[in-house]
Amino acid sequence: MMKNLKNRDFRGVPRLWTAIVLMLLWTAAPALLRAQNGTETPTAVMEDSAVPAQVDQATPQNTAAVAEEHPNAGVVVDIPLLDSLKNFFLNPELLGRILNVGLTILVGIVLISLLIGVLKRIAHKRLDPRSSDLIIKIIQWAGVALIVINALKAAKVDLNPLLGAAGIVGIALGFAAQTSVSNFISGFFLVSEKAFTVGDILTIDNLTGVVFSIDTLSIKLRAFDNRLIRIPNETLIKANMINLTRFPVRRLNITLTVPYDTDVEQAKNLLLDIADRHPTVLRNPEPFFMIQSFGKEGVDLFLGVWFVQSDWEPTNNGMFMAIKQRFDEAGIRFAYPTFNLATQEDSRSALRQQAVSGPAGSST
């Protein structure tokens, strides 16, 4: 069992359990002090039995009087703080409570750590990282709550006032943390959808990046320029999200426009030949070509080629560079917007020419 405990992941445990112990001591201290104050102790103890019993409290006056009457008697004056500490550590009932609280905390830490270790192994095999991390965090906080409750019971602390105060505090926090609660609940819906995981490339409202971490209240993306983008779960569940790496195979969509006087059949054969020669373009599914539309500047052509998602960069750059090179060699031009501008002088020249030539069809 000790060998298994050494292999557990206890990172972050010392700070968490230290906070739990301090909170329990702060909560249980009044009850423990009341238990050790059940019997009153004398404030002055006389070593000589001949000292009068009416001396109940050691003061400078009665101490001097006792010293004069009994010169051989030693007077020891106890300090109240030392008496309290002595009674605190010598009280069997109090020591029993402290021992019960310590054992409860120790056993709870060991059991929760073992349970979390088992859940991590099972969750990492059967669930995605987002779901497993969220479940483990819930188990951790539930375990902390159980340890706190059992430790307070072991200290014989009345939990009724604490539960009432917790209810009031819970209502106040509910109103104050509506956004956090909404993000927390939204996280459960995102987990159930399983739309992405750590390492996927997402596009969310014109923001694109790699999923860096998935937390209880938000997800964090690492942009391609190494910026960190935090998106709350509530925002994410309302936004349009595109997972670019969900499937192992993707399609590169290429749209280009050629003038109307272009031989479309020649352009089609050229594009399919470029796709067939490119090393990262898949043959199954095969490349897809179609005439998309007749636009303002020319004929819109579409070419779709499939590739493995890890080959996105060489496929994208290689296809566009090859199309530009082969089209230039074949003399096929790309269409671009053109404008015909007519100046006022051109309009006047046209009117003069029409006046000189006369109306169409007139004879002299």
pTM above 0.75, yes or no: no
Q: Please indicate whether residue 33 or residue 301 has the higher confidence score (pLDDT).
A: 301
Rounded mean pLDDT of 342-355? 65
> 3-class DSSP state for residue 232?
strand
pLDDT of residue 291: 93
Rounded mean pLDDT of 331-338? 85
CA–CA–CA angle 121, 5, 129 (5° rounding): 25
pLDDT of residue 168: 72
pLDDT of residue 259: 93
> 3-class DSSP state for residue 102?
helix
Show the tokens assigned to 334.
């790309």
Average pLDDT, the chain: 74
Q: What is the pLDDT of residues 306-331, one digit of tens each?
A: 999 889 999 999 999 999 999 999 99
Query: Which residue is associated with the tokens 């109307």?
Result: 260
Q: What's the number of CA atoms in the CB half-sphere (13 Å) around residue 3?
A: 0
Say if residues 338 and 297 touch (Cβ distance below 8 Å).
yes
Q: Which domains does the chain have, with CATH numbers?
A: 2-155 (no CATH), 190-243 (2.30.30.60), 249-330 (3.30.70.100)
Say if residues 289 and 349 touch (Cβ distance below 8 Å).
no
C-alpha span between 267 and 270 (Å, rounded): 5
Q: With bands split at pLDDT 50, 70 and 90, how would you rate the model's confidence at 355?
A: low
Q: What is the pLDDT of residues 121-163, one digit of tens each?
A: 877 777 666 667 777 777 887 888 888 878 777 777 776 776 6
pLDDT of residue 84: 60
CA–CA–CA angle 328, 280, 311 (5° rounding): 110
How many C-beta atoms lie closer than 10 Å to residue 233's C-beta?
Answer: 24
Query: DSSP readout, 145-188?
Result: HHHHHHHHHHTT--HHHHHHHHHHHHHHHHHHTHHHHHHHHHHH
CA dihedral 37, 43, 49, 50 (to 10 degrees): -140
Q: What is the pLDDT of residues 187-233, one digit of tens each?
A: 778 877 778 888 889 999 888 999 988 887 888 999 999 999 999 98
Most confident of 5-14, 145-154, 352-361: 145-154
Strands of 207-214's sheet in order across: 228-232, 218-222, 207-214, 201-204, 241-243
pLDDT of residue 80: 59
Query: DSSP readout, 235-295?
Result: HHHHS-EEETTSSSEEEEEEEEEE-TTS-HHHHHHHHHHHHHH-TTS-SSSPPEEEEEEE-
Phi, psi of 212 (to 5 degrees): -90, -45
Rounded mean pLDDT of 240-255? 90
pLDDT of residue 118: 83
Rounded mean pLDDT of 275-300? 92
> What are residue 252's DSSP bridge partners?
305
Rounded mean pLDDT of 342-351? 63
pLDDT at residue 5 tops 80: no
Where do runs of H (alpha helix) occur along the chain?
Answer: 2-6, 13-36, 60-69, 80-90, 92-126, 129-154, 159-176, 178-193, 233-238, 264-277, 312-330, 344-357
Which residues does 152 contact at the CB level (< 8 Å), separation at least 6?
24, 27, 28, 159, 162
pLDDT of residue 287: 93
Q: Fill in the DSSP letter of residue 194.
A: T
Say if residues 201 and 209 touch (Cβ distance below 8 Å).
yes
Q: What is the pLDDT of residues 63-101, one digit of tens each?
A: 555 445 555 544 444 455 556 655 655 666 767 777 877
C-alpha span between 128 and 194 (Å, rounded): 8
Q: Please indicate whether residue 20 or residue 357 has the higher confidence score (pLDDT).
A: 357
Q: What is the pLDDT of residues 12-61, one digit of tens each?
A: 445 555 555 555 555 555 555 555 555 444 443 444 444 444 444 545 55
pLDDT at residue 11 tops 80: no
Lowest mean pLDDT among 46-55, 100-109, 113-122: 46-55
Q: With bands split at pLDDT 50, 70 and 90, how would you rate the model's confidence at 345?
A: low
pLDDT at residue 173 tops 50: yes
